[in-house]
Structure 1
Amino acid sequence: LDPVDETMLHPNLERAALLGVDPADIANTLSVLVGGVSASTFEDRGDQYTVFMRAAERFRNDPNGLTLIAVPSRTLGQVRLFDVIQLGSGKATSKISRQSRERAVFITMNNMTGFSEQALVDEMEKAMKTLDMPPGYTYEPFGRSKEMAKMQGAFLFAIFLSFIFMYLVLAAQFESWLYPFIIMLSLPLTLPFAILSLLLTGGSLNIFSMLGLIVLFAMVKKNAILQVDHANSLRRQGLPRTEAVLAASRDRLRPILMTTLAFVAGMVPLVTSQGIGSGFSKAMASIVVGGQILSLLLTLVAIPVIYTWFDDLARFNTRVWNKVLRRKPVDRGAGEIGVVDIHA
């Protein structure tokens, strides 16, 4: 804000004492004539209005109008205000802003396309720390920057809870603590590709891109469930582990590709939109489309590998516990022998 000219009045205490003027009378007179005071109320047809009194604007804004104002004196009755004050001039702000009943200076800005809002906030904090402000002065984000800082902690907590609930639901469905863990390991693999898609599209990490990240997690988890569930089904029919994993990956490749392409095709209009509010839809859709396409091949290969690793680890732990507890392997007889036609 551009500064404006200001007229300052300073009581001349020595002159006021000589003329018998109380400094409080000087302040009260200026308060009434310049600042104004609520004098009474006025009622009209059941409505009550406040009567506010102060000097006319031409006297308040013109320093020469102060020559017409008098203040009470204990010895002389009335004394001109000019005789007990000193005039000064200076510069003042044209507007005083407040935040939480305290004076505040607001710095607002918009980030250009391709620049992260969080990066701007970090740079502002670095600049404010170099000012070495005196005691009593503080700085803090407000508006969308403040909500963004709150949202990051809330979003991480929501992601943590969603992982817990997804794991518990999958554990109830598979009746196992191992297979849900294998499925959940596919989610961290999508994070680098989600960030890469933001960099390629020039987007930034905000609340809408975070929502898109949750949608991306759901799609990737669904693909892993198809692979693991079908592999377990083939193994229950008697197919060996390696053949069951290969057959499950081959059988579920077409459904995974079809659902992925259909989902990406549905998100393309949001990515290419140009209307009002398109920035919000682009932020969500770009991370879903880019992350899904880039991570598809990795998850299709990684899930079978992770499945075999943890299955070997489970078998090794079983053998160790059997040796420690001196148990003999359970002979299931012909229940483990069978022939499955995986092309049926």
Structure 2
Amino acid sequence: ANKDGSMIRMRDIARVELGAKAYTRDSRLDGAPAAVLSIYLLPGANALEVSAAVREKMAVVEKNFPEGLDWLVVYDSAEFIQQSITEVIITLIEALLLVMLVVYLFLQNWRTTLIPSLAVPVSVVGTFIAMLLLGFTLNTVNLLALVLVIGIVVDDAIVVVENVERLMAEEAMEAREATIQAMSELSGALVATSLVLAAVFVPVAMLPGITGILYREFAVTITVAVLLSTIVALTLSPALCAILMKREAVGKKNWLFQKIDDILDKGAEKFGTLVGLTLRFSGRTLLLFALMLGLCWLLFNKVPASFMPIEDKGMFFVDMELHDGSTVNRTKPVIARAERFVMNHPAVAHVFTLAGENRRSGANEANGQMEIILKPWELRKGGGYTVTKVIDEVRQELATYPEIVVQVSQPPAIAGLGLGSGVDLVLQDRTGTNWEGLLEATDEVIQKANLRRELTGVASPVKPETPELFLDVDRAEAKALGIPLKDIYGSMRTFTGSAVINDFNLYGRVYRVRVQAEAEFRARPDALQYFYVRSETTGAMVPMSVLASIDYSTGPAAIDHYNMFTTAKISGDPELGYSTGDAITTMREILDETLPPTIGYEWTGLTQQEVQSGGEAAVAMLLAVLFVYLFLCALYESWTIPIAVLLIAPTGIFGALLMVYLRGLENNIFFQVAIIALVGMAAKNSILIVEFAKQLVEEGMSFKDAALKSAKMRFRPIMMTAVSFILGVLPLVLSTGPGAVARQSISTAVFGGMILATTLGILVVPLFFVLLGKLDRRLAKHVSHDTKSEAIGDAL
């Protein structure tokens, strides 16, 4: 009110409206305005349960929505998880059926087939109980372990049944007598093979960090299942053999079974001949073995490396940056243009856009992002529209936009680790005083990186030349006029930005009252003439232009720190056809040749985990081999015989590397855990030969004859167990759809590895047994001679 009683209303001097808190962002879904809610899981929460709970809650909330307002789940990570688990369960069933078919074809009788078949449900159910007690969740890692286990848990029971059947046929024993005799021959080998597999995974389960977490569930799942299958083979299987197996069934074969037997018999004879040749030409065999080791090293360097496989999760991100200082009104048309292109793509289901912010650079009116959600896999596989192909097409289109810098990336393989599936690092000014040097180094690294064929979209969110206005206050003039600095700064903040006056309630909500100057009066630097500040001494309104001036300037939009050092973030993606391991190697080369001594760097996100996991995987492999070796040393009471068992492992590793290389897969964490498992599984075959050969040597047979006889005798059970395992993982090798890359990585490695370990590996085991057995005997004689000499010397 004025002194004369008249009223001045706010509508007389200002425009009053209900509006948004800020207009620096604009979000849209499929071209229409949208408000987006992102929901994240708390530690320990189950993604599938949270997804179902959110949908259930929204179904209740939507009843209170005004007309024309709807809600939509644009992307749900639980769908990918559910589809991946469903695919693995289907593969698990396929593997089980294949293994049962193989067992029946080899054993050729439903009674004998039932015996190893019962090992599967007992082992799998027991493993689920152990997982529940240990607090494990049902996920892709332990389900993959269970699929591999299907082909392993029947091994021990198959060996028992095959040996009982052989004794009944060759020695004319009754089932009970044959079972007792078979178990006396096999118990040691069964326990040894199972404990070897357990020993392989003991060090793996103890690894720290994310790598250890991923390894641990896989290791524990396989170990528990294998130990349970051994208990079944030592208890239930012998009892069933004595009850179910009948002598009259032996020898009654149809043409198919007879053909299989003939193939196995001829195979055993040819295998024995080949083993004889390896023993006869031991020097040449060792030379070929050394050549294979060299090829292993060559393949290891050829296979691209990564931390986790990049899966087709049906979505990807596009981060865009316009020139420094661009406003959101300039950003929106560019995003809308890109949005129209993407929405017309046949593989795209939804497009969410956000102007004024992106994932890599944060909030800035010059930034924008698109989150592109693809149609379900089954609707786009006909056109071959993988997420990689769609990304490539979008990247090519956006490369024609001269006003933006674009980075396209998929979600990280592990949610929360990094912003994408590429390479992330920070450059650090180790002196704390060389900001300009840090910027120069960042620009040089980015320029060199974008020239390399292994990298694409390398950029930094640092904006060192952001336009800004500098307010230069004449402090002496302000003091003379009686105007405090806080009043000057407060008035500028109110006019050019906004100031919160109070709150009020309306429609059941709390609104803030904000005051600011109209846009036309704050759009230019000369707007100072419209701003006034009251003098505390005279009460007069003084123009701001008298108190201050505005100058144009540039500076960084933000300065980030990492481990207390001033930093500049850099991120990029591997070019199509290259892995993240290739990208990291290339980036490391660029950094080493570019950065001055005062500028350092640190890997971040998934890149940091990948760099760390490389060393951890090597440690895990060495510890696994060491544990197995020490266990076998204790079992055989020898330092040399265990080496004969373990030397089958290189053939399996060579097969794994060769198969992965031929399929164009990567050396990732799933491949690495497959290699560790392969060491144990290959050693199982080796133990079957070495254990029996050692028994024959103890009975007085020569090393050579014992190796030949053991190889022929164990050929059939080794083939039966190996073929059942190889065909058991075949569905994984051929799998497609969500999560297929992880399934293919682990299965291809063990598939190729077991093929070569079963064909080439068991050929060299007898040779190593003979060579190392003789060496062990010489060492024993030498030690015995030295001991006797010392005893005589003491007596004298």
Same fold, judged at TM 0.5 (above): yes
1:140-159 correspondence runs (5 A): 140-159=602-621
Q: Say which is worse superposed, 97-106 or 191-200, in terms of deviation.
A: 97-106
Q: Say which is worse superposed, 104-113 or 289-298, in terms of deviation.
A: 104-113
Structure 1 residue 107 and structure 2 residue 571: aligned?
yes
Matched residues in 2 for 1:37 and 1:126: separation? Answer: 51
Shift of 1:185: 2.8
Shift of 1:323: 3.7
Q: Say which is worse superposed, 117-126 or 233-242, in terms of deviation.
A: 233-242
What is the match of residue 17 of structure 1? 476
Decide which of 537, 556, 580 is 1:117's aligned counterpart.
Answer: 580
**Aligned AA (2:519):** R
Shift of 1:7: 5.5
Matched residues in 1 for 2:518 and 2:760: separation? Answer: 76
Shift of 1:150: 2.3
Decide which of 163, 182, 191 is 2:653's aligned counterpart.
Answer: 191
Shift of 1:205: 0.7
1:183-332 correspondence runs (5 A): 183-326=645-788
**Aligned AA (2:588):** E
Find the residue that maps to 2:573 and give its secondary structure: coil
Point out where structure 2 has 5 or more consecutive residues left out of the alignment: 1-320, 327-465, 791-796
The 3 A distance-change label for structure 1 pair 110 and 178 is same
The 3 A distance-change label for structure 1 pair 58 and 176 is same
Q: CA RMSD in A?
A: 3.8
Q: How many pairs align?
A: 323
The 3 A distance-change label for structure 1 pair 214 and 18 is same
**Aligned AA (2:616):** A
The 3 A distance-change label for structure 1 pair 59 and 99 is farther
**Aligned AA (1:2):** L
1:62-81 correspondence runs (5 A): 62-63=523-524, 66-71=528-533, 78-81=541-544
The 3 A distance-change label for structure 1 pair 35 and 175 is farther
Structure 1 residue 58 and structure 2 residue 519: aligned?
yes
Point out where structure 1 has 5 or more consecutive residues left out of the alignment: 329-344
Contact kept? 2:653, 2:678, Cα under 8 Å: no
Contact kept? 2:633, 2:639, Cα under 8 Å: yes
Structure 1 residue 86 and structure 2 residue 546: aligned?
no
TM-score, with structure 2 as normaliser: 0.36
Matched residues in 1 for 2:641 and 2:670: separation? Answer: 31
> Quick one: higher RCO (CA 8 Å, sep 6+), 1 or 2?
2
Find the residue that maps to 1:140 and give its secondary structure: strand
Matched residues in 2 for 1:53 and 1:121: separation? Answer: 49
Contact kept? 1:38, 1:50, Cα under 8 Å: no
Matched residues in 2 for 1:31 and 1:239: separation? Answer: 98
Q: What percent identity do the matched residue pairs reach?
A: 25
Find the residue that maps to 1:238 and give its secondary structure: coil
TM-score, with structure 1 as normaliser: 0.76
Matched residues in 1 for 2:515 and 2:619: separation? Answer: 57
Find the residue that maps to 1:204 and give its secondary structure: coil
Contact kept? 2:574, 2:582, Cα under 8 Å: no
Matched residues in 2 for 1:322 and 1:12: separation? Answer: 95
The 3 A distance-change label for structure 1 pair 164 and 60 is farther
Q: Give per-residue Cα distances to partners, 1:138-170, cap 9 Å, x unaligned.
A: 543333222212222332232233223323333
Q: Give per-residue Cα distances to partners, 1:218-245, cap 9 Å, x unaligned.
A: 2211111111101012222332221111
**Aligned AA (2:755):** I
Matched residues in 1 for 2:604 and 2:645: separation? Answer: 40
Decide which of 5, 8, 19 is 2:468's aligned counterpart.
Answer: 8
Shift of 1:284: 0.8
Matched residues in 2 for 1:177 and 1:189: separation? Answer: 22
Contact kept? 2:685, 2:718, Cα under 8 Å: yes
Matched residues in 2 for 1:257 and 1:60: separation? Answer: 87
Matched residues in 2 for 1:149 and 1:290: separation? Answer: 27
| Structure of higher CA gyration radius | 1
Shift of 1:282: 0.7
Matched residues in 1 for 2:713 and 2:500: separation? Answer: 84
Q: Say which is worse superposed, 199-208 or 237-246, in terms of deviation.
A: 237-246
1:131-170 correspondence runs (5 A): 131-132=594-595, 135=598, 138-170=600-632
Shift of 1:79: 3.5
Shift of 1:319: 3.2
The 3 A distance-change label for structure 1 pair 134 and 175 is closer
Matched residues in 2 for 1:126 and 1:35: separation? Answer: 46
Matched residues in 2 for 1:59 and 1:133: separation? Answer: 48
Shift of 1:258: 1.8
Matched residues in 2 for 1:61 and 1:159: separation? Answer: 66
